[in-house]
Each structure stands twice: as C-alpha cells, then as structure tokens.
Chains A and B, each alone.
Chain A
Amino acid sequence: MLQTITKHLKRFKHAKRGLSNVIVVMLSLVILVVISANVILWSYQMNQLDWEKMKEDISITNIERIGRSSWFVAQSEYIVNDGSYISGSYTDTQAVDSRYERFTEALATPIYYPNGYTVSYGTYLSGTVPASVQNVDSDYLITRSAVSGTAASYYYPSGYTLGGSTTWVSGSASNLTLNDGVYMTFRSYASQTSSSTFGYTTAGSSYTTVSANQMYGSVFTSPAYSGMTVQSITFRGRGSSGAANVKGVLVRHSDLTIVAVGNPVPISTTVNWYTSTFSSPPSLSTNTEYVIMLIPSASTRFYYVSGSANQGHYDSTNSYTTPTSPTDAAHNNNQYSIYCTFTYPSQYTCEVEFTGTSNAESWTQLVWTIDSSFTTDSVIATFQLYNNQTGSYPTSGDGYLLSTIGTTDVTKTQTITTNPTYFRDASGNWKIKVKGVKDANSQFDFKADWIEFKTAYYNGYTASTEFTFSNMKTNIPTQVNFTVVSEYNITSVSVTIQVWNYSSSAYVNSGEGYLAYMSSGSNETKLLSINTNPQFYTSNGNAKIKVTGVKSTTSQYLQKINQIKLYYKIENRLDMNGGYVIDLSTYPLAHIQTVEIQLRYKASDNGEKWYLKAYNWTRAAYSDFGFNSTTGHTPTTGWDYYVVNLTTSWRSYVWNNGTIYVQFSDQAQDSTSTTIDIDFLGVRVVFDRARFSFKNEGPLTSHLISLWVNNATNHRRYDINLFVNSGENVAYVRLDISLSMENFVVKVVTEKGNVAVFAEH
C-alpha cells in the first residue's frame, strides 16, 4: 500500500500538467465553498430572524387612563408655629389607618425683638440691633443726643466807668434796659484844643513912647469860640533908650477892669514882637470887647497903625508893679500892634464804659445792641465790646461798631456767632465802651437809651430712636406688649415711648401705646400693654416703636437702650406646616395638571373652620389663592376628609424640585382649645395620561420600539424602548400620551417587526 502511494506521488511529481489541474480545481472549490458558505449561512441567519419573528407573541392586554399619582406624605415632623404638639408622629399621618398624630390649640405668645432701627434725633454711637436690645445686659444701643432747642439770656449794664473827662449828667443804669426814650446822659469833654489870636498882629510903623507905669492898648473884639483861655499877650515894641520889662494886661472894655496881668517880659532896644504870658490863663468871653494893653517898667516904644476912633486907650497914671484897672483911661485912634494868643477847644469827646454780667453757658451767639443819640449832630460814635481773649477792645470785626450819630436815636446791633464767649470773662462779665467824638468847639452830651447784651445757647437736647419689627406673625393679636429697658447718662430726661398706629399712620400721643416718664436710675423697665385694638399696632408682621428722650440742658447726654421686646399674644391658635416632595422623576412638572392635598382629621369641637394652605413660592407666604376651595372646612368632630385642589395655580406652590409646604391652621382665636388628630395628610399630583399593559406570550423576549395611538384625525407614533420578557406582563405609563375620549387604536411594534393592536371603541 505504501509503495503504491509512493509510486503515485512520484508519478504526480513528474506529471506537471496534472499539478496545474489540481491547483485550479482546488481554487475553484475554494471559491464555490466561500459562495456556498456565505449564502447558506446568511440564509440561515435570516431564517432564524424570520423564525424568531414568527415565534414572537406580544399583545396589548389593557389600556387605561390614569389621573392621579400615589400620595406623597410627610417625611419629617411637622413644624408647629402656633399651638402645641401632643402625641404621635408624622409617620402616623402617612396612611389612613388607626394611628394619628395629635395637636392642640394653645396660647401663643411669640417674642420678637427689633431687627431694624433708625436714629430719628441724635447720633448713633454704638450697638447693634437686635443683639444689643435682646437682653438686659451691658450691651446697649447708644444714641448721643443732639441739640433740639436754644435759649436766650438778656443782660443790661449794671455799672459804668467814665472815660477821660466825661461827666455823668443824669439817669442811671436802670434806664438802659428799654428802648423807651429815657436816657442815661453823659457829657463830653474837650479832648483837643487849638490856638488862635485876636488883636492886631501886623507890625505898625508908628509908635508911641510909653513911659514907665503908663498903660497903653487898643480895643478888640474876642472871637466866638467857647472855652477860650488867653495864653499870652504879644506886642511889637522896643525899649526907648534901654532895656525894660513889660507886662501884658487884658482889660474888659465894658467896665475897664483888668481881667489878667501877664508876666513881665524883658525887652531890648530892638524892635520886635515880645510876649507876656499868663501864669493863670484867663478865660475869654465870646464876642466881647477887650482892651489889650501893656505897661512897661521903663520907657518903651509901642508901635501902631491908625485905627478906629477911640480904639486906642491909655492910662498915664497906673502902676507897673501893681497894675490897676484903667477906669480913667483916655482914648485915641491908634490900633496898636498887640494881640492875645488864646486857646479854645476844637474837639469834644464823650467816653463811657458800661459793665455788666451774664452767664457762663456755651453760647452759640451773642447779640449786643446800643440805642443812643447825642445832643449834637455828626458825632462819630464808636461802640466796642471787650474781647477777653485778646485782652483789648476790638478795632474791627466782631465787637466793634462805628457810626455817625446825631440827635436822633440810632440803634446799633451786632451778632457774634464766632467765639462769642471771647467777649466775656470767666465769670460772665462783659464791658462795652462807647466813645463819641466830634471836632467842634462846643460840648455835647451822649444819651444812652438802651444797651442790651443778649446771649443764645443750647438748652435742649433730644435723643430719639425708632425700632422696627418685621417678619412677625400676621395673626390678629389679642394683646401686644412692648417692654423697653433703657437708661440715660444724666438724670431727669423726659422720656416718651410711642408705638406706631398703623390705623392712624402716626405714633400714639396718648392712651395705650404711649408712655411718658422722667428718667432716673439705670435700666428702667417700662411696659406698654396694648389691649384695645392691638391689631392696629401691627401690620403684615411689622411694628414700630420710638423711644425719645428730651432734656433742657446745655450738655449732650446718651440714650442707652438695653432691651426692646415685643410680646405678641395670640390665644388658642393652631398653625402647623409640613413639607412634601413630589417625585418629579416619575411625574415631571411639565405633565402635572394640578396638585391635590388631602387631610383626614378629627377636631374636638366644631366651633371654627380649619384651613389648608400651601406655601406660595411666588408670594413668599402661605396662601390658598387659586385653590378650588378657600372657605375652609368645618369639622364634624368625627373623622373628616378635607381635600383641596390647587387648580391651575398649582405651579406657584410647587418648587422646581417638587417641594410643597402645606399649612394647616385654624380660623381664628377663640375661647376653646381645640384638639386636632391628624390621621392622614398627603399631597398628590393630578395628570391625564395613559397606562399600557403588555403581555409577552412568546418564548422570546420582545423589544418594543414604538407605540402608535391612532384616532380618526391623527396617527401618532411614540418611540419607546421597553423589553418584555417571555411570559411577563408589563405596565407602561406614558405621561406624554393623552388618550382621547373618542375611539382610538393603539399599536405597539417590536424590534423584530411584529405589531400588536388594541382598539378602544
């Protein structure tokens, strides 16, 4: 056998044509095998597909509309805002059964503290709200008082000091308190003089030789100046043959009596003007004729010019040593070169310094006023208020007034607001100096009618702080009590506490909500209890109270508020709420039509209604706005169902994460403390969608890929992706499919191509 094979192989090895044929055949066989295998295997697969399709047996067993979700119940304990928890647990309210949670109405007196403040008067100093006003401790809300009033004090001179040679004429300091025309009068003095001459001051060319003991002179009329005093007599002459002494003699012409004799003046033989002075200058009457004469001790030449008739007088029998009145004088017509030099007042001054007292307050301003006049016109009057800071009378600015005043009373006043206290000394004393000056030859009087020294200073300080409460309960209270604990760092502050009345839109000025007292001591506790219409004093959970301290004082003080507390009394109320979360993964917000709240409860009395509300996220408050029923539910004292539907406004009550807060509360305060048993309180969503029931009676798992809902007007395809195991019944809920109320056909298509049909007619 082996030999035969070997022989065939050797033959085959040497038969080249045979090898090619074999290769060709083999390749052909490979191709054929590939073709056959490919086609046959593919055909097998497709047959398997068809077989599986034929085996698939899916059917729609039921279609139903579903409208409500299961109940979502509380997952945490309820919050009791008003009232009291008695027994049970929130888990007892998750199902309708024999277990329940019990609550009862109770007296509620929540305490509130201010959460805001406004300093109405004064300046905030320290402290915070509410931290500083919650407890009676060392933490205060402190307000520094501010000026709220000023006072004026009026002062008048109590004395005076004359300046220079001023003399008092009449009146007293008491006449200076009113501007009434009753004067205190002072007289001026000559504060400045001028000199002049009268006589003949021109040198004459002729002369008379006057022998010793002879008295020669001429008549001249004195000027009209008042107060004239002759200082000297000057004449022109010389000794006739030697030196001589000459005395000037002033003689009144009317009776030729000597007025005064001058001192001897030695003269020489040189012609000159020689002056004989008076040791005691005599006064000179105005417009009076005087004979100005001389008497030598030796022969003297006395020069003259021709004068008027009898102007010249001479007495040949007089005495140089002791001149006598030349009553027997003879006359000639000579006008001798002789004249008197006299002085007269050219300026008068009246100067008075008035003094007075005042206070030592902290002046805000000083007003000083002088009403006065003079007995002559055009007197330059200077009024000066002594500046103790500089130690002098001002010459300009504050404390200085200048005016020209005549015979009519003029009121001069000045208001000093800058450092008014400079114009007093430490004891409050002040000085006003009045000086009237006039360049005149006649004396005048200063008539002071009214001199006033008025000081203004702060005498009232106020500290007022307003406290505001917010986010309080909005229940109508039966009583509102405010407790204010405060103190002041000075005694006897007039304190007013006022509560804001929202009905009258004003702070209360009397009665309840108003309290006034005089402070004394520290941490004074004051209670304001409002029993009449307490609801007027709160509004939407807000309240206001103002504490005001007023004191007539010249110094600031501190208002220190230690506690502001508000008791908000509500009787027999029950207000509780709980949170619920809707499963949005199952019930998306887009497919929810509304939300229902169901309560099963039992009340111990039926004296009032009970309300279900929900937190309105838009209004940020609990509300039943938009509910199908807002009238509440009257219990029967048995187990009652109370259901509300949030209708189309449900979205305002459901937060984006599905949270809804439900509030259960009573109608109002009453005299009965009601006990409430809650067996069930839940929330569910309402929608209008379809639930499909599929049954797979085939041996293979079916993959459902589409769902058809057809009616006369529309054929609508929905993609689905649902696997139904063999022998399994599956309920399939589609929230986006709304089944119409008319006839419809529902088809479901499998991935393999089978279609199951359900018709509703």
Chain B
Amino acid sequence: MARKLRFFHDKRAITPVLSNLLLMVVAVAAMTIATTATYVITTNLRETMGERLIAEDLWFNPSGCISIYILNVGKTSIQVSAVYVNHTKYSFAPTPFTLEISEHGWLNVSCGWVSGNVYHVDIVTKRGYHVADYYKAP
C-alpha cells in the first residue's frame, strides 16, 4: 500500500508514460486518417476510371421527346446527372437515372426535335464521364 501511494507521488515516472500514450493515440489517429483518405481517394479514382456507357439507340420519339437507350458497359454503376442537347441542359426521366453494371434502360429527354436537324447529345454522369455524339432527326 505504501508502495502504491509512493508511485502516485513519484512525479518523474508519470510524465514519460503519459507522453508515450499521447504519442501513440496521435499516431494511430494519424494513420487511420491517412488510411481512410487513401481508401476514399482510390475508390473515387477507380469508380471514375471504371465508368463506361454507351447509347445503344437514340430515338427521336414521335411523341416529341428524345429517347436514349443507355447500356452500362463499365465496371461500376453509373448515374446520369445531366443531358445536354446542343449544349443545352435538358431535364430527363426517370430521375435519378441509375444503371448498375450491365444494366440498360430508356432515358427520356424532355427535348423537342425537328425532322432533319442535327442534334449534339451529351450524356454526363455524376462522376463526370460523358458520352456525346451527333444525331440527325429523321
């Protein structure tokens, strides 16, 4: 008991211990942050690099809109964030338009069209991947 009490009154011993513990906490926290940052950064990079999509078909729909059939041929899911027709952003449906790997579906752009005109259609994903091409309305 006396030895315990003496331990608490020995100021030379406690300081190194506390300092070591503090250093360990700081080191672990720093490594955790570094590891997490590394994971996030690499994942985003991978997803960004893994995006591939094609427009299987673009149909100047007689109903007045432009329907685009999109196939996700990449290695990650995609979400279309914007569609530009002749560099003008148009709304589309359905929203959100998300395709998992190898999924496909119609994307209806609320954009009128005139027969014979040429339209530049640019489909942009949330991560910045885009597919663009010119299409002439029949």
A residues at B contact (CB < 8 Å): 27-28, 31, 34-35, 38-39, 42-43, 45-46, 49-50, 53, 705-706, 708, 710, 712-713, 715, 717, 747, 749, 751-753, 755
Complex: how many Å from CA A202 to CA B37?
Answer: 172
Docked Cα-Cα span, A148 to B35, in Å, equals 115
A46 touches B50 (CB 8 A): yes
CA–CA, A706 to B55, complex, Å?
A: 12
B68 to chain A, nearest CB (A): 11
Kindly list chain B residues whose C-beta atoms are within 8 Å of the C-beta of A43: 49
In the complex, A751→B73 CA distance in Å?
7
| A34 and B42 form a contact (CB under 8 A) | yes
- How would you classify the secondary structure of chain B's contact residues: helix, strand, loop or mixed? mixed
Contact A42 to B73, CB < 8 A, known contacts A712-B138, A747-B57: no
Are A713 and B62 in touch, CB under 8 angstroms? yes
B residues 27-50 near A (Cβ < 8 Å) are: 31, 34-35, 38, 41-42, 45-46, 49-50
Q: Is B52 engaged at the interface, CB distance under 8 Å to the other chain?
A: yes
B127 at the interface (CB under 8 A from A): no
* Bound-complex Cα distance A697 to B121 (A): 30
Given A717-B56, A717-B57, A753-B52, verify A35-B42 contact (CB < 8 Å): yes
Whether B57 lies near A45 (C-beta < 8 A) is no
With contacts A34-B38, A35-B38, A753-B73 taken as known, whether A708 is within 8 angstroms of B57 at the C-beta atoms is yes
What distance in Å separates the Cβ of B60 from its nearest Cβ neighbour in chain A?
Answer: 9
Chain B residues with CB under 8 A of A749 = 54, 56, 71
Residues in B neighbouring A45, C-beta threshold 8 A: 75
| Interchain nearest-CB distance for A438 vs B (Å) | 124
How many inter-chain residue pairs (CB < 8 Å) link A and B?
A: 65
Q: How far is the CB of B130 from chain A (nearest CB, A)?
A: 14
With a cutoff of 8 Å between Cβ atoms, the chain A residues found around residue B46 in the complex are 38-39, 42
Bound: A50/B59 CA distance, A: 26
Q: Which residues of A contact B69 (CB under 8 A)?
A: 715, 717
User: Which of B34, B50, B56, B138 is within 8 Å of A708, CB to CB?
Assistant: B56
Q: Which residues of B contact A708 (CB under 8 A)?
A: 56-57
A35 to nearest B CB, angstroms? 5
* Min distance, Cβ B45 to any Cβ of chain A, angstroms: 5
- The 9 listed contacts between A and B (C-beta, < 8 Å) are A39-B46, A46-B75, A49-B75, A710-B59, A715-B67, A717-B57, A749-B71, A751-B73, A753-B73
Least Cβ–Cβ distance between A55 and chain B, in angstroms: 15
> At the interface, yes or no: B104 with Cβ under 8 Å from chain A?
yes
Knowing A38-B46, A39-B46, A752-B73, say if A710 contacts B38 (CB, 8 Å). no
Residues of chain B from 119 to 138 with CB closer than 8 A to chain A in the complex: 138
Chain A contacts of B42 at CB under 8 A? 34-35, 38-39
Which residue of B is nearest A750, CB measured? B73
Interface size on B, residues (CB 8 A): 25
Pairwise interchain contact B75-A31, C-beta atoms closer than 8 A: no
Q: List residues of chain A with CB within 8 A of the CB of B73.
A: 53, 751-753
Chain A residues positioned under 8 Å from B59 (CB to CB): 710, 715
- Contact for A753 among B45, B54, B62, B67, CB less than 8 A: B54
Q: How far is the CA of A53 from the CA of B71 in the complex (A)?
A: 14
Q: What CA separation (Å) do A197 and B62 show in the bound complex?
A: 147
| Complex interface: chain A residues within 8 A of B31 (CB) | 27
State the Cβ distance, A718 to closest chain B Cβ, in Å.
Answer: 12
Which residues of B lie under 8 Å from residue A38 when comparing CB positions?
A: 42, 45-46
List the A side residues contacting B38 at CB < 8 Å: 31, 34-35
Known: A706-B104, A747-B56; 7 extra A-B contacts, CB below 8 A, are A31-B34, A38-B42, A46-B49, A46-B50, A49-B75, A717-B69, A753-B73
Q: Which of A34, A43, A46, A49 has the most CB of B within 10 A?
A: A46
In the complex, which residues of chain A have a beta carbon less than 8 angstroms from the beta carbon of B102?
A: 705, 751
Hey, which chain B residues are within 8 Å of A50, CB to CB? 52
Residues of B within 8 A of A752 (CB): 73
Give the one of B38, B46, B57, B69 with max A CB within 10 A: B57
Residues of chain B lying within 8 A (CB to CB) of residue A706 = 56, 71, 104
**Cβ contact within 8 Å between A35 and B49:** no
How far apart sit A154 and B42, CA to CA, in the bound complex (Å)?
131
Task: State the CA gap A596–B83 with chains docked (Å).
Answer: 53
Complex interface: chain A residues within 8 A of B104 (CB): 706
Q: In the bound complex, what is the Cα–Cα distance between A38 and B138 (angstroms)? A: 46
Q: Nearest A residue to B35 by beta-carbon distance? A: A31
A705 to B72, alpha carbons, bound, how many Å? 12
Bound together, the chains give a CA A752 to CA B71 distance in angstroms of 10
Contacting pair A755 B49 (CB below 8 A): no
Residues in chain B near residue A27, CB distance under 8 A: 31, 34
| A39 to B59 CA separation, bound complex (whole angstroms) | 37
Residues of A within 8 A of B52 (CB): 46, 49-50, 753
